Amino acid sequence: MSSEGRPAPDAVRTVAVIGTGVIGGGWVAHFLRTGYDVVAWDPGHDAAQRLSGLLDTAWPALERLGLHEGASRDRLRFTDDLENAVAEADFVQESSPEVLPAKVALLAAIDAGTRPGVVVGSSTSGFSMSDMAVGCATPGRFVVGHPFNPPYLIPLVEVVGGPGTDPGTLVWAEDFYTLTGKVCLTLDHEVPGFVGNRLQEALWREALHMIDSGQATVQQIEDSIVYGPGLRWALMGPILTFHLAGGPGGMAHMLDHFGPALLEPWTRLDSPSLTPELRDRVVSGAEKAAAGRTMPELQQRRDAFLVDLLLLREEHRALDG
């Protein structure tokens, strides 16, 4: 144990995952793949069975990607007792629904039941730790560890503390997530909506506006990203993509030449009203784009593609030296 009463990041053996829905279940798969003992808790009806089904779907992709030494689904234990779930944990990942009063109460209960010093990460996608840790007796050990779906394949995790988070907790969390194969985006201060979500939401708002106005269908929006910018973004983000678009002059030429276009009234980043009509249009368009494939079939197709893409990225990283 360190002077703070917590294990070193590379000494973690048992991870508690609190909440096992799509995100929490994805964390379970990730930690099992990377060789940890996992204790899972979720009060939902048939939660254990749903988690088992998620692992059934995810595990073939993880085997293709490569299991770490000691990785096994047999290292999962499901419990219906929260205190039992966190009692012996070396790290806790909370992934409960995005309801602030429930989050506050749950984090306080985790704080009360977890050994002193053990770091607790929250998967929240919208709340700040400032708001969530108000009921915790020891807020210094709490940090946001916001993943992207599915957590067992998408490497990025955004790490940020609140004003009560100890600086050492942020360092520890970044080190631990990195050891498990994550790519950490550690923020210096709280950002409403985080970084990745803010960018996703801008695109999402534009999509809803175009669907609502009849300018584009769901399928056209899907194709515009899948066969357009999405291909580039798998290797380079929007900034470096536009740097390349500037040719020999790079970003400077890009801004000088195309900067005036930023004043064009193309975008409408305010949210459209989610009317019943818009909701139905988006739902029917999504179902049409799914082309009759079930959710497990779509998940398996997505996972197989992501594994191929991750392996390809590894080849290109090796070329970078």
Distance in angstroms (rounded) separating the CA atoms of residues 149 and 15: 19
> Which has the closest alpha carbon to 37: 2, 84, 96, 88?
88
Question: Lowest-pLDDT range, 127-141, 227-241, 255-269?
Answer: 255-269
Average pLDDT over residues 208-221: 94
Percent of the chain topping pLDDT 90: 68
Q: Is the pLDDT of residue 298 over 90?
A: no
Q: Given this model, what pLDDT does residue 253 score?
A: 80
Dihedrals φ, ψ of 93, to 5°? -115, 115
Mark out the alpha helices in the chain (DSSP H runs).
22-33, 47-65, 82-86, 100-113, 129-132, 167-179, 195-213, 218-226, 229-233, 238-245, 250-258, 276-290, 295-319
User: Greater confidence, 299 or 110?
Assistant: 110
Among 154, 186, 218, the domain-final residue is 186
Same domain, 140 and 91: yes
Average pLDDT over residues 304-319: 85
pTM assigned to the model: 0.88
Residue 242: pLDDT band (50, 70, 90) is: confident
Same domain, 208 and 174: no
Among 160, 186, 212, the domain-final residue is 186
CB atoms < 10 A from the CB of 43, how many?
Answer: 11
Which helix (H) or strand (E) covers residue 117, if one does?
Answer: none
Same domain, 90 and 138: yes
Whether 128 is in a domain gets the answer yes
189 near 129, Cβ under 8 Å?
Answer: no
Q: Given this model, what pLDDT does residue 271 score?
A: 78
Q: Given this model, what pLDDT does residue 321 score?
A: 60
Indicate which CATH number applies to the domain containing 151. 3.40.50.720
Average pLDDT over residues 163-187: 97
Same domain, 137 and 261: no
Same domain, 169 and 203: no
Question: Lowest-pLDDT range, 100-104, 128-132, 146-150, 263-267?
Answer: 263-267
Q: Given this model, what pLDDT does residue 320 score?
A: 66
Tokens of 160: 């940020």
Same domain, 17 and 76: yes
152 near 140, Cβ under 8 Å?
Answer: no
Whether 164 is in a domain gets the answer yes
Q: Which residues contact 145 (CB under 8 A, 6 or more apart)?
A: 93, 121, 122, 123, 157, 158, 159, 173, 177
Q: Given this model, what pLDDT does residue 2 score?
A: 45
| Mean pLDDT (the chain, rounded) | 91
For residue range 39-56, list pLDDT tens digits in order.
999 999 999 999 999 999
Q: Is the pLDDT of residue 69 over 60?
A: yes
Residue 56 structural domain: 9-186
Distance in angstroms (rounded) separating the CA atoms of residues 286 and 48: 29
Q: Is the pLDDT of residue 109 over 80?
A: yes
User: Greater confidence, 281 or 29?
Assistant: 29
Q: Given this model, what pLDDT does residue 1 score?
A: 41
Question: In what side-by-side order are the strands of the sheet with 119-122?
Answer: 76-79, 37-41, 14-18, 91-94, 119-122, 142-147, 156-160, 183-186
Whether 28 is in a domain gets the answer yes
Per the structure, the count of domains in the chain is 2
Same domain, 165 and 267: no
Same domain, 234 and 180: no
Indicate which CATH number applies to the domain containing 251. 1.10.1040.10
Same domain, 162 and 220: no
Whether 315 is in a domain gets the answer no
Q: Is the pLDDT of residue 296 over 90?
A: no
Same domain, 155 and 280: no
Instruction: Report the b/e string of 279-316 with b at 16+ CB within 10 A.
Output: eebbeebeeeeeeeeeeeeebbeebeebbeebeeeeee
Same domain, 176 and 207: no
Question: Of the ranges 13-27, 188-202, 248-262, which is most confident?
Answer: 13-27
Could you give the maximum distance between any two Cα atoms of the chain, in Å?
61
Dihedrals φ, ψ of 214, to 5°? 80, 15
Which helix (H) or strand (E) covers residue 154, if one does?
Answer: none
Q: Is the pLDDT of residue 313 over 80?
A: yes
Same domain, 107 and 44: yes
